[in-house]
Structure 1
Amino acid sequence: MSWFLLFSMVERMGIIVAIAFLFTRWPGFRSLLENRPDPRSKFMLALVFGLFGIVGTYTGITVSPGEVQHRFPGALTYEDAIANSRAIGVMVAGLLGGPLTGLGAGLIAGLHRMSLGGFTDLACGISTVYEGLLAGLVYAKARRHGMISPWAALATGVVGELGQMAIILLVARPLAKALYLVQIIALPMILANSLGIALFMAIIQAVAEREKTIGALQAQKALAIADKTLSHLRTGLNYDSALATARIIHEQAGAAAVAITDHQVILAHVGAGADHHLPGQPILTEVTKQVLTYGQLQVATGPAEISCQNRHCPLQSAIVVPLYSGRKVIGTLKLYAVKKRRPDQVMVELARGLAQLFSTQLELGEAERQARLLQDAEIKALQAQINPHFLFNALNTVVSLIRTNPQEARRVLIELGNYIRQNLKSSLNKWTNLATELQHVQAYLAVVQARFSHRLKVIIQVPDEFLGVALPPLTLQPLVENAVRHGFSKFTEQSMICIEAAQQQADLLITVRDNGAGIPPEQLKDLLTEPVSRREGGIGLINVHSRLQGIFGPGYGLAIESTPAEGTTVRFKIPLQVQQEVQR
């Protein structure tokens, strides 16, 4: 082994790793490092790391008969070989993108190496492809556990380089010269390249962790802002709610200015430029008009795109995101900066998250306004109870999950959106069907299970033939929520809620059963009496009971059976002939 070669290889490896660090500062490169790269991303990874492999070849050291030359390899004679860091880029490609990405990078770097000549050209080309495939297979095996760790990358690098030495001995000729070359380069290349691969993956892992941390912090900030703006946006998008919301965002988000518009005029502008960006002025910015038209986030990177008529306006760039109510764009949220540059991705994602949360709040507000128009006062009371209570519990669950399990936090947010969407629809319709009610229940229970670490077992036994049965909206979900809130002081692995449906003569009998704490007899006999129900927090039960009896008659309210320490069963019937009346 040549100590000079070892130190030189470590030096070259440092150059490759330094380039890798610089690349991780480039947003375009970071966008390729997704958990599940798509085909285009895999192709780009193969291309980028294939070029890394070529750089590793050109930063190598020529090994000629009897000497190690401290120079970059150019054209090689047949007697020459290269001690290089080509494997670093190729194997990292496989570890990040899988077998096809590793193969692609190996072919790019391997074919280039073969074009340089030397008695190891074919052996090095083959071994480069082998190393890319090996790393890709490690990715395929271990990826479900998360990003490949630096220690696993180190071990993969050692195995890959040992394989390269074996291929040189098997393919390169004459064998004596190949054996002599391996004796010189084996240990330096194994040590330097495997360490380089491990450092490369450590750098990428650090970047990925930083992105997750920033994302979690921005999500928490968005949730904190949304919590403070909830009471304002529930009144709708108007001058007062827009001004209060813009002030909160300006204070919390660190933007130079914040503006909110409806479809025609500026509703509020807080921060830099507030002396001439006045509420009530028509929208002039072209980028804002595009967002209102197409419903897609837009970024203005200069004053020309902002189109302010004031020559002394300090606003230089902006992020403009649409605000929705349902599927309709009703306004925009704009975060401004006073520096003439493209806004960073962190601020873009914050704006996107705020817009989504505000749209949900506006949708909630619209639903509440619609509920006030309903003649059924009990529906309004139920809506007022469910939405804020459940929303805040769900947001707290997401906040607690967002650092420890971002994927679970994302799933809970999706289920929360499904729940809220169905809750809003329920307040606007007189009838729904059992399938929709069960979807509503499942969305609610998905958030509850996340909150209590999936200790609650849910059993749904409803034959498909009954899924289309019509019933009043918000009939089943309040019963399940009541079982969750009052049936269990704490959840264990044995906690269970069962929902069943079966035909009973001319009716459909629906049962919600739990094995929770049960209800004391003295409380049970008066539970469906309105004053007692309200005092005990049972507005959901009395509401469902009263609506069922009001629609179907006195014999169609709730029937409740309960045994303390064993559980509670709630039953109600839906007359099957009502289906014909609903269809008419």
Structure 2
Amino acid sequence: MLNLVILMIERVGLIIIVAYMLMNIRYFKTMLTKRHYLSTKIQLILVFGIFAIISNFTGVEIGKDQVVSDQLFTTLSENASLANTRVLTIGVSGLIGGPFVGVSVGIISGIHRFTQGGEAAFIYVVSSILIGLFTGLYGMRTMKKNHYPTVIEGIIIGALAEGIQMACILILSSNFRDSIELVRFISLPMVLINSLGTAIFLSIIRTTLQQEEQTKAVQTHDVLQLANETLPFFRQGMYEEPCTAAAEIIMRFIKVSAVSITDQERILAHVGAGSDHHIPSNAILTDLSKEVLREGKVKEAFTHEEIGCHHKGCPLEAAIVIPLKSKDRTVGVLKMYFTDKNELTYVIKQLAEGLGNIISSQIELGEAELQGKLLKDAEIKSLQAQVNPHFFFNAINTISALIRVDSEQARALLVQLSHYFRANLQGARTNLIPLAKELEHVEAYLSIEQARFPERYQVEFRIEPSLNQVLLPPFIIQLLVENAIRHAFEGRKVDNHVLVSAHAIENNLVLSVSDNGFGIKSDRLGKLGREIVPSEKGTGSALENLNKRLVSLFGESAALKIETSNKGTTFSCMVPCKERTKDHAYPTR
């Protein structure tokens, strides 16, 4: 009997080793969290069915005069029996997957055992099905509570399952004396081994899943704490100073060698190893980052070559790169680097991906706040810089003078002035208006300016009629036209031409405002649209505000482009051709 116990411990050990290996496979762990799905139950039947067949092959043959254990048993002697871990396998399958899984594995195991032959082999078909049903019904109870049986429950259920096996041998055997002798010899070792094996199997499952939950809890805590500390910085936008502060916080929380953040074109922050050549403001260095920006998917690298940094002597050997997204477009990447590739663990990957998702949400919220702020700022700047008292009084004086000489023209100008004020107020209420509405606003502005300075400016419009309902930010054309009138000609009173054009390229609207002025000085050119550039005639904030709104609404591809020479200047931008829908309602006159 002691010899049989030792032999069966070896067999149980094999099953336990396989169980441990399975629980270290991500797919199997995930499957065990979805036990209620039919697809999961079918997979469990396949896995445990294979376990059961292996148990039959690796059992211990028990004859009247000898015990055989040193071979795989495809067939048994006519009067021999087989001690194996089949009951353990069926029992665990039922406890995990319920009666459907337990009975199915029992049928597979019982039929295979029947094909091996031996003394009264049909008994093991019956016992296998009954064990699968019994353990499955108990497993169904725990499935409803969404947990697994405890180790103590496993010991008791394992012993009872083996008891069913012994009872079937005694009841169904045609030779009662031989069956009594067999049960006396194998019952204690089998009950002991089956109880112990079931308990260990369940312990491995419960411990692994508990560790998984604990890891997720730690990850969630770390991500939330990180998000809380970095939130103020990412909501400021994708700029060097806030991104550097956020990268330093991430570096402090997570055990990585370096943290880097980029936008679509350049490095915004890099702290840690490699700081000597991964320098903020420089263009993106690594091929891996460029690939993530193109595809918008998380990428991992475990060699210097996979990272794709072409700087000789770069110490970075592994990386995980997470796309940062806003409104389904990739606006940058978060990179975590390692000087030792073994430090890039599964936990770090999960933490990084979770953090990337939260940062993306914060960036999108920040952009929404920025858009609201910019829209309000556009309203204020429009009223201050464009409808300022000086412009207003000049317009009124012009109308007043015309009343005496041309009352009809004065009335028309008064209507245009009313339209101009109304367009400013309407444009402040929405992010996008149709091109046709913007052109009406521009015409109202020009009618007043040309009444004040007859024949000084000639403004020509070349607009494709099919583009009239395309949406674009309010004030965009008016600001560019006014910028040309106020700054391009430097006091020149004749031959001042401005051309406003709009045409379609593929699915985009290309808008441009050109003048034949004196051009922009080189020391101001690089700053226009990117920062406030004060001048004698204004605050210089209108172009910066307009450019920020374009980028925030449509991305970097919509940013203002400036071409200038001593023969004139062209401001242009490209926006997607989207027309008004219910989601893009705008106020009407």
TM-score by length of 2: 0.59
Q: Which residue of structure 2 lines up, in the alignment, with residue 212 of structure 1?
A: 213
Q: Which residue of structure 2 lines up, in the alignment, with residue 115 of structure 1?
A: 115
User: 1-side partners of 2:272 and 2:149: how far apart?
Assistant: 45
Please say if residues 47 and 108 of structure 1, whose CA atoms lie closer than 8 Å, have aligned partners that are also in contact.
no
Q: Return the offset for 1:55.
A: 3.5
Please say if residues 287 and 309 of structure 2, whose CA atoms lie closer than 8 Å, have aligned partners that are also in contact.
no
Q: Return the offset for 1:167.
A: 3.0
Q: Which residue of structure 2 lines up, in the alignment, with residue 577 of structure 1?
A: none
Secondary structure at the counterpart of residue 331 of structure 1: strand
Q: Return the offset for 1:15.
A: 4.0
Q: Which residue of structure 2 lines up, in the alignment, with residue 307 of structure 1?
A: 308
User: 1-side partners of 2:313 and 2:120: how far apart?
Assistant: 67
* Residue identity opposite 1:251 in structure 2: R
Q: Which residue of structure 2 lines up, in the alignment, with residue 82 of structure 1?
A: 82
Q: Does 2:344 correspond to 1:349?
A: no
Q: 5+ unaligned residues in a row in structure 2: which ranges?
A: 379-427, 432-585
Go from structure 1 to structure 2 and tell me whether the alpha carbon gap of 1:289 and 1:37 turns closer, same or farther (over 3 Å shift). Answer: farther
Secondary structure at the counterpart of residue 198 of structure 1: helix
Secondary structure at the counterpart of residue 255 of structure 1: coil
Go from structure 1 to structure 2 and tell me whether the alpha carbon gap of 1:64 and 1:315 turns closer, same or farther (over 3 Å shift). Answer: same
Q: Return the offset for 1:248.
A: 1.2
Q: Which residue of structure 2 lines up, in the alignment, with residue 12 of structure 1?
A: 11
Q: Which residue of structure 1 lines up, in the alignment, with residue 143 of structure 2?
A: 143
Q: Which residue of structure 2 lines up, in the alignment, with residue 241 of structure 1?
A: 242
Q: How does 1:294-443 map to 2 (within 5 A)?
A: 294-340=295-341, 343-375=344-376
User: 2-side partners of 1:153 and 1:112: how far apart?
Assistant: 25
User: 1-side partners of 2:151 and 2:169: how far apart?
Assistant: 27
Secondary structure at the counterpart of residue 324 of structure 1: strand
Q: Which residue of structure 1 lines up, in the alignment, with residue 52 of structure 2?
A: 53
Q: Return the offset for 1:235.
A: 0.3
Q: Return the offset for 1:193.
A: 0.4
Q: Which residue of structure 2 lines up, in the alignment, with residue 33 of structure 1?
A: 32
* Residue identity opposite 2:49 in structure 1: G
Q: How does 1:140-219 map to 2 (within 5 A)?
A: 140-145=140-145, 146-219=147-220
* Residue identity opposite 2:98 in structure 1: G
Please say if residues 62 and 71 of structure 1, whose CA atoms lie closer than 8 Å, have aligned partners that are also in contact.
no
Please say if residues 286 and 310 of structure 2, whose CA atoms lie closer than 8 Å, have aligned partners that are also in contact.
no
Q: Does 2:262 correspond to 1:261?
A: yes
Could you say which structure has the larger radius of gyration?
2
Go from structure 1 to structure 2 and tell me whether the alpha carbon gap of 1:142 and 1:241 turns closer, same or farther (over 3 Å shift). Answer: same
Per-residue CA distance 1:93-139 (angstroms, 9 max, x = gap): 23223334334443444443333221243322443344334333222
* Residue identity opposite 1:152 in structure 2: E
User: 2-side partners of 1:115 and 1:84: how far apart?
Assistant: 15
User: 1-side partners of 2:289 and 2:20: how far apart?
Assistant: 37
Secondary structure at the counterpart of residue 33 of structure 2: coil
User: 2-side partners of 1:136 and 1:366: how far apart?
Assistant: 54
Q: Which moved more, 1:289-298 or 1:139-148?
A: 289-298
User: 1-side partners of 2:286 and 2:44: how far apart?
Assistant: 38
* Residue identity opposite 2:51 in structure 1: F
Q: Return the offset for 1:73.
A: 4.9
Q: Which moved more, 1:186-195 or 1:9-18?
A: 9-18
Please say if residues 325 and 360 of structure 1, whose CA atoms lie closer than 8 Å, have aligned partners that are also in contact.
yes
Per-residue CA distance 1:461-520 (angstroms, 9 max, x = gap): xxxxxxxxxxxxxxxxxxxxxxxxxxxxxxxxxxxxxxxxxxxxxxxxxxxxxxxxxxxx
Please say if residues 62 and 73 of structure 1, whose CA atoms lie closer than 8 Å, have aligned partners that are also in contact.
no
User: 1-side partners of 2:279 and 2:173: how far apart?
Assistant: 77
Q: Which residue of structure 2 lines up, in the alignment, with residue 383 of structure 1?
A: none
Q: Return the offset for 1:196.
A: 0.9
Q: Which residue of structure 1 lines up, in the alignment, with residue 61 of structure 2?
A: 62
Go from structure 1 to structure 2 and tell me whether the alpha carbon gap of 1:63 and 1:153 turns closer, same or farther (over 3 Å shift). Answer: same
Q: Return the offset for 1:311.
A: 4.4
Q: Return the offset for 1:61.
A: 1.8
Q: Which residue of structure 2 lines up, in the alignment, with residue 412 of structure 1?
A: none
Secondary structure at the counterpart of residue 235 of structure 1: coil
Secondary structure at the counterpart of residue 276 of structure 1: coil
Per-residue CA distance 1:286-344 (angstroms, 9 max, x = gap): 54344334433232233333122134333222222221223332122122223345942
TM-score by length of 1: 0.59
Q: How does 1:124-143 map to 2 (within 5 A)?
A: 124-143=124-143
Go from structure 1 to structure 2 and tell me whether the alpha carbon gap of 1:120 and 1:253 turns closer, same or farther (over 3 Å shift). Answer: farther
Per-residue CA distance 1:352-385 (angstroms, 9 max, x = gap): 11112212221221222123235499xxxxxxxx
Please say if residues 371 and 428 of structure 1, whose CA atoms lie closer than 8 Å, have aligned partners that are also in contact.
no
Secondary structure at the counterpart of residue 320 of structure 1: strand
User: 2-side partners of 1:4 and 1:196: how far apart?
Assistant: 18
* Residue identity opposite 2:61 in structure 1: T
User: 2-side partners of 1:292 and 1:206: how far apart?
Assistant: 39
User: 1-side partners of 2:376 and 2:312: how far apart?
Assistant: 54
User: 2-side partners of 1:354 and 1:235: how far apart?
Assistant: 17
User: 2-side partners of 1:40 and 1:266: how far apart?
Assistant: 46
Q: Return the offset for 1:37.
A: 5.9
Q: Return the offset for 1:347.
A: 0.9
Go from structure 1 to structure 2 and tell me whether the alpha carbon gap of 1:114 and 1:271 turns closer, same or farther (over 3 Å shift). Answer: farther
Per-residue CA distance 1:248-282 (angstroms, 9 max, x = gap): 11121001222212222322222222222233444
* Residue identity opposite 2:371 in structure 1: Q
Q: Which residue of structure 2 lines up, in the alignment, with residue 465 of structure 1?
A: none
Secondary structure at the counterpart of residue 251 of structure 2: helix
* Residue identity opposite 1:194 in structure 2: S
Secondary structure at the counterpart of residue 278 of structure 2: coil
* Residue identity opposite 2:80 in structure 1: D
Q: Return the offset for 1:172.
A: 4.6
Aligned residues: 385
Per-residue CA distance 1:399-456 (angstroms, 9 max, x = gap): xxxxxxxxxxxxxxxxxxxxxxxxxxxx9989xxxxxxxxxxxxxxxxxxxxxxxxxx
Go from structure 1 to structure 2 and tell me whether the alpha carbon gap of 1:115 and 1:278 turns closer, same or farther (over 3 Å shift). Answer: farther
Q: Which residue of structure 1 lines up, in the alignment, with residue 574 of structure 2?
A: none
Q: Which residue of structure 2 lines up, in the alignment, with residue 221 of structure 1?
A: 222
Q: Which residue of structure 1 lines up, in the alignment, with residue 529 of structure 2?
A: none
Please say if residues 230 and 361 of structure 1, whose CA atoms lie closer than 8 Å, have aligned partners that are also in contact.
yes
Q: Which residue of structure 2 lines up, in the alignment, with residue 44 of structure 1?
A: 43
Q: Which residue of structure 2 lines up, in the alignment, with residue 571 of structure 1?
A: none
Please say if residues 81 and 118 of structure 1, whose CA atoms lie closer than 8 Å, have aligned partners that are also in contact.
yes
* Residue identity opposite 2:349 in structure 1: V
* Residue identity opposite 1:17 in structure 2: I
Per-residue CA distance 1:197-249 (angstroms, 9 max, x = gap): 01110121111111111111111111111121112111011222221111111
Q: Which moved more, 1:147-156 or 1:3-12?
A: 3-12
User: 2-side partners of 1:176 and 1:428: how far apart?
Assistant: 96
Please say if residues 246 and 259 of structure 1, whose CA atoms lie closer than 8 Å, have aligned partners that are also in contact.
yes
Go from structure 1 to structure 2 and tell me whether the alpha carbon gap of 1:175 and 1:294 turns closer, same or farther (over 3 Å shift). Answer: farther
Q: Which residue of structure 2 lines up, in the alignment, with residue 291 of structure 1?
A: 292
Go from structure 1 to structure 2 and tell me whether the alpha carbon gap of 1:349 and 1:55 turns closer, same or farther (over 3 Å shift). Answer: same
Q: Which residue of structure 2 lines up, in the alignment, with residue 477 of structure 1?
A: none
Q: Does 2:305 correspond to 1:274?
A: no
| Percent identical residues | 36
Q: How does 1:462-501 map to 2 (within 5 A)?
A: none
Q: Which residue of structure 1 lines up, in the alignment, with residue 521 of structure 2?
A: none
User: 2-side partners of 1:64 and 1:88: how far apart?
Assistant: 22
User: 1-side partners of 2:59 and 2:151: how far apart?
Assistant: 23
Go from structure 1 to structure 2 and tell me whether the alpha carbon gap of 1:40 and 1:172 turns closer, same or farther (over 3 Å shift). Answer: same
Go from structure 1 to structure 2 and tell me whether the alpha carbon gap of 1:270 and 1:375 turns closer, same or farther (over 3 Å shift). Answer: closer
Q: How does 1:556-567 map to 2 (within 5 A)?
A: none
Q: Which residue of structure 2 lines up, in the alignment, with residue 510 of structure 1?
A: none
Secondary structure at the counterpart of residue 274 of structure 1: coil
Please say if residues 155 and 196 of structure 2, whose CA atoms lie closer than 8 Å, have aligned partners that are also in contact.
yes
Q: Which residue of structure 2 lines up, in the alignment, with residue 251 of structure 1?
A: 252
Please say if residues 278 and 285 of structure 2, whose CA atoms lie closer than 8 Å, have aligned partners that are also in contact.
no
User: 2-side partners of 1:217 and 1:288: how far apart?
Assistant: 28
* Residue identity opposite 2:238 in structure 1: L
User: 1-side partners of 2:13 and 2:130: how far apart?
Assistant: 24
Q: Return the offset for 1:140.
A: 1.8
User: 1-side partners of 2:329 and 2:376: how far apart?
Assistant: 26
CA RMSD of aligned residues (A): 3.3
